[in-house]
A and B are shown apart, each in its own frame.
Chain A
Amino acid sequence: MKALVPVKRVIDYNVKARVKADGSGVDLANIKMSMNPFDEIAVEEAIRLKEAGKIEEIVAVSIGVKQAQETLRTALAMGADRAILIVAADDVHQDLEPLAVAKLLKAVVDSEAPDIVIAGKQAIDNDMNATGQMLAALLGWPQATYASELLVEDGSATVTREVDGGLQTISVQLPAIVTVDLRLNEPRYASLPNIMKAKKKPLEEKTAADFGVDISPRLEIVTTTEPPTRSAGVRVGSVNDLVEKLKNEAGVV
């Protein structure tokens, strides 16, 4: 069995995002970029499936700027076997829309014929939460989203999903798309020997044009704004003061 794991290079989730002065987006110049944390969980899950003997090969794929090869090297250092980079942007500020990404991934799936695609449920930069679902639709494959547990056996995947009311367990026939949630696993560190080995693993570079996919944007970003700053708190002298303020100032009780 073969697993395909898409990984995205995004602003590191521990870095404070700053909006560009013209409001056109988040300023990414000289900002720490890392693998989307949900994709890291997807890579880890694929490696665990390989270690358990469920799959034989893990192919990591990234779509975006050329620097995304660093993200792929991280996936290879964690334990992916080979990588495919589709260069589809030349500016880090150019974010591909989920439909374009899904179409490119479909083309990769068509040529690689994986048995399972394990992806992050969403990228933390644009929070679209759409690529996995769109890919499933384009391929006509079953989809299991928000996985917090994944069991692969006898041509099917049993997936526990985190839903509002609790946990839901579903079974999907392979090939299928699984998108993973935060609590599925804790990703491993890349060890030095594996980082060095990863430098020699194959990383194939392609362009969006190689697949004949139209990646032009369908959406227009009107404006980007910072979240409102939190106003300073006040100290209250007593419980009575607190209740008084909650009633008359905040109007919440």
Chain B
Amino acid sequence: MSLNAATPEFVRTLTNQIGEGVISPPTPAYLEEPRHRYTGIGGCLARPRNTGEVAAIVRLCNDNKVGIVPYGGGTGLVSGQIMEHGPAPVILSLERMDAIRDVDAADNILIAEAGAILANIQLAAADANRLFPLSLASEGSCRIGGNLSTNAGGVNVLRYGNARDLCLGVEAVLPDGSILSGLERLRKNNTGYDLRHLLIGAEGTLGIITAAALKLSPRPVEVETAFATVPNPQAALDLLNHLRDDLGDLISAFELIDLNGILFMEETGVDHTYPLAEKSKWQVLVECGGGVDARLKARLEHALHAAAERELILDAVIAQSEGQRKSLWQIREHIPIGNRKIGSVVSHDISVPVSRVPAFIEAARPLIEAIDPDLRINSFGHLGDGNLHYNIFPPMGRNRGDYDNAAKEVKKTIHDLVAQFGGSFSAEHGVGRAKVGDLQTYGDPTKLAAMRAIKAALDPNGIMNPGAVV
């Protein structure tokens, strides 16, 4: 099974059949990714305006065995949207299909096309006095189709779940060009294989999601946010359990922040304001939300005070205004910017059982030091989900290029340790092309065989996102 390139001749055929204004040469923006690690190839860029056009393009590609790389906001970190080698594919961007077709406050459902930008979906939900809780650093540019295809996580998974948990149905174009009309508004629907769950997290290898029915939640009337320094990761975890004992699932976010993340922002001049007088090696950002008369502020104050008496926290601030709340979140959200400016030797998006996060951090450090004691570790992320962005950086004044030899060893060491801890080498970023080898190494053989069988059944020509995932 070999694919054909999207040759000038094929592109002409595509242009003739699909019509003017949809097919164009790919501009460099579609061939780059946020970390500038991979550079893609593409025979043309297709920007369809509706599901029918998506289907027509896919059908033509399938008939001619030409690969398709589906493209959302281009914010993916594992090269799922960038194909570096092979016959030049058609890059199919959903950017023009960005309509929000419906917001239904009674059904608590929002229907969005795949190209809708996540932040716009959040705003549309808020306008209807509802919450669409999926929230991540790239929400201003990532698109919901990509969020679903990668089963994105983010900061509110603790309370609301990841993208998979927030989707009730999808409309999609399958690899043969047929349209799956599955925009169900049902909370319960046990009628055979749930293809929605097959397409979510498939990273564009089984079809192209063109629209989705998304689940809305009540909008929290009161949101309280605190930033606390903690003695160590175990105390942070104990703090999470302490707060959940008190506030239950009103806790929506619980983020661990490594001092190095803050020092990197200082080193590279990234805008942020540290709210406390003294920094600690570890800090956490906590957010909770509730309805009318939840008296959340007083409850959070008391719970944090009790935590301080148990010596789970060293010091803390609670945002007194939305401005302060935004400023506290800015610290967490700007950490990846500092990371990018320093340039990591290697980044990991790993998860382990929540209770084992402190032990993992404890066990990983000496292993990294043994490889090179000068390497700097910034391990931060969604502690409440057991998800760490465990990233390794060169010492100050050195370049990541100097550590190319160490990078492979570091990555293998961390992923081996993750496996020992019963964890995952890709918690929320996906497999893309960057982690295909890891999936081969660490994936369950039976699961891999079943995945290949599904892929072969739905996409016998292998046109959908070639080289990604399987």
Contacts and interface: CB of A to CB of B under 8 A. Distances in A.
A193 B315 contact: yes
A30 interface: yes
Interface stretch (A7-15, A132-140, A220-228): A7-15
B276 A14 contact: no
A189 B324 contact: yes
A179 interface: no
Contact of B317 (A12, A40, A192): A192
Interface string A1-29: 00000000000111100000000000000
Contact of B321 (A30, A34, A191): A34
Interface string A29-59: 0101011010010000000000000000000
B434 interface: no
Contact of B318 (A13, A35, A37, A190): A190
Contacts of B315: 191-193
Contact of B305 (A30, A34, A192): A192
Interface in B274-321: 275-276, 292, 297, 301, 304-305, 308, 313, 315-321
B107 interface: no
A190 B320 contact: yes
Contact of A195 (B228, B301, B322, B323): B301
A195 B292 contact: no
A143 interface: no
Contacts of A35: 320-321
B322 A13 contact: yes
Contacts of A193: 308, 315
A8 to B, nearest CB: 13
Given A12-B322, A14-B322, A34-B322, A192 B292 contact: no
B304 A192 contact: yes
Interface string A182-199: 000010011111011000
B88 to A, nearest CB: 28
A196 B324 CA distance: 19
Contacts of B292: 30
Contacts of B325: 14
Contacts of A195: 301, 318
A193 B316 CA distance: 8
A74 interface: yes
B452 to A, nearest CB: 45
Given A192-B305, A196-B305, A14 B316 contact: no
A230 to B, nearest CB: 15
Interface in A135-163: none
Contact of B320 (A13, A14, A74): A74
A192 B316 contact: yes
A190 B226 CA distance: 10
A37 B323 contact: yes
Nearest to A14: B322
Nearest to A36: B321
Nearest to B314: A192
B252 to A, nearest CB: 16
Contacts of B305: 192, 196
Contacts of A191: 276, 315-317
B321 A12 contact: yes
Interface string B91-120: 000000000000000000000000000000
Contact of A192 (B222, B297, B301, B321): B301
Given A189-B275, A192-B318, A13 B308 contact: no
Most B CB contacts (10 A, CB to CB) among A15, A35, A40, A191 go to A191
Interface string B313-343: 1011111111111100000000000000000
Contact of A189 (B297, B320, B326): B320
B453 interface: no
Interface string A41-84: 00000000000000000000000000000100010010000000
B221 interface: yes
Nearest to B326: A14
A14 B317 contact: no
A191 to B, nearest CB: 5
A190 B273 CA distance: 14
B24 to A, nearest CB: 15
A196 B222 CA distance: 20
B330 to A, nearest CB: 13
Interface string B410-430: 000000000000000000000
Contacts of A192: 226, 228, 301, 304-305, 308, 313, 315-318
Nearest to A13: B323
Contacts of A12: 321-323
A189 B325 CA distance: 10
Nearest to A196: B305
Contacts of A74: 320
B320 A34 contact: yes
A189 B322 contact: no
Contacts of B297: 70
B322 A15 contact: yes
A32 B317 contact: no
A58 to B, nearest CB: 17
Contact of B221 (A30, A34, A190): A30
A189 B221 contact: no
A221 to B, nearest CB: 25
A191 B222 CA distance: 20
Contact of B301 (A32, A34, A196): A196
A250 B297 CA distance: 50
A231 B401 CA distance: 48
Interface of A: 12-15, 30, 32, 34-35, 37, 40, 70, 74, 77, 186, 189-193, 195-196
Q: Nearest 10 CB-CB pairs, A to B?
A: A14-B322, A189-B317, A34-B321, A192-B316, A189-B275, A12-B322, A30-B221, A74-B320, A191-B317, A196-B305
28 contacts: A13-B322, A14-B322, A14-B325, A32-B223, A32-B322, A34-B320, A34-B321, A34-B322, A35-B320, A37-B323, A40-B321, A74-B320, A189-B275, A189-B318, A189-B319, A189-B324, A190-B317, A191-B316, A191-B317, A192-B228, A192-B301, A192-B304, A192-B308, A192-B315, A192-B317, A193-B308, A195-B301, A195-B318
